[in-house]
A and B are shown apart, each in its own frame.
Chain A
Amino acid sequence: MLCGNYEKGLMEKILVLNPDWCKGCGICAAFCPKDALEMIQGKVSLKENNQCILCGLCEQRCPDYAIFVSDSGK
């Protein structure tokens, strides 16, 4: 999942979602400052119009560690 800054070559960071660990509580989507996430069939996913700014607030508030910003691009 490539996001804004990655495309511009400013930062080699990406948002990674792990649906296997997601329990669908919706906390990440509710507190996303750019409203970039949505819940589809009880799992988190990135909205079509990619608004993510890689702030990492979802990573801090995900109780299941199912969403995070990765430096390495793994």
Chain B
Amino acid sequence: MIKTSDLVFRTMRIDHLPHIWCPGCGNGILMRDVAAAIDNLKLRQEKVVIVSGIGCSSRAAGYLDFNTIHTTHGRAIPFATGIKLASPELEVIVITGDGDCTAIGGNHLIHAARRNIEITVIVFNNNIYGMTGGQYSPTTPAGEWGTTAPYGNIDRQFDIPQLAADAGASYTARGTAYHTQQTIKAIQDGIAHPGFSLIDCYSPCPTYYGRKNKKGSAVDMMKYQRDHGVPAEQYAKLSDEEKTDKFIVGKLSQNEYPGYTQLYQQLIERSQERSQKKVYL
């Protein structure tokens, strides 16, 4: 008999476990957070669609026991947009990585945010391209190292929730592998939110990012998240100097823009009315 918790048994394909992620990789913790959020919301298995692109993070679609689709590199959001437009009653959740979401799929991210389509994007942000061997990604901080930045990276990093919010996303939040309770709540709120929601989740990558930048073991990287992640209320009280190495965990922004499938349905109804009028004239 396979020994596993009720949550994992209910929400994951246990014949595919244990997963192939490295020892100490945060993706396993974040995948459990996604499963717990779906479980807490009591969504029916056949109503949930998990869409993923390519990369370490995107392996999650193979392990979660819902309707899952593993798509091409960077194109998870276009696939999800198509699914949501065709069947608006489905709950579409995109699991993607930092490179997949902001480099290869950067355009798709900003345009999905602009349309404010009712999908939830969960970014497993490990600050590097882990699967292909540690190339620097758009979220690798300036001054750090990657296999393609042997003299140090000079690019500035993307703040993914800020990027999405400025492009029009109506819910953004940040989670980490350490702050599981806050991350589960952020994902739950993101799924329940009627609009485009993005949750940027920091995931420690001890194998490539950690080793290349001398960040220590997985435990040390999790301790960094514990010491530097603060709730929004506490962050507001900090001085500018203290803010430089701290980041907010939890909700970052929320707006009430109309959702895209809602507007699309209204358009269908309007055009149907017009065509019916023409027939009877």
Which residues of A are at the interface with B, using a C-beta cutoff of 8 A?
16, 18, 20-21, 23-27, 30-31, 59-66, 68-72, 74
Contacts and interface: CB of A to CB of B under 8 A. Distances in A.
Contact of B218 (A25, A66, A69, A70): A25
Interface stretch (B20-28, B135-143, B145-153): B20-28
A5 to B, nearest CB: 18
A20 B29 CA distance: 18
Given A25-B24, A26-B218, A26-B219, A65 B180 contact: no
Nearest to B30: A63
Interface residues of B, number: 29
Contacts, number: 77
A62 to B, nearest CB: 7
Contact of B27 (A26, A61, A63, A69): A63
A2 B219 CA distance: 27
Interface of B: 3-6, 8, 12, 17-19, 21-29, 32, 177-178, 180-181, 206, 217-219, 222-223
A31, A61, A70 pick with most chain B CB within 10 angstroms: A61
Contact of B32 (A26, A60, A69, A74): A60
Contacts of B19: 64
Contacts of A30: 219, 222-223
B24 A27 contact: yes
Contact of A18 (B3, B12, B178): B3
A24 B28 CA distance: 14
A24 B5 CA distance: 19
A25 B24 CA distance: 5
A26 B217 contact: yes
B97 to A, nearest CB: 16
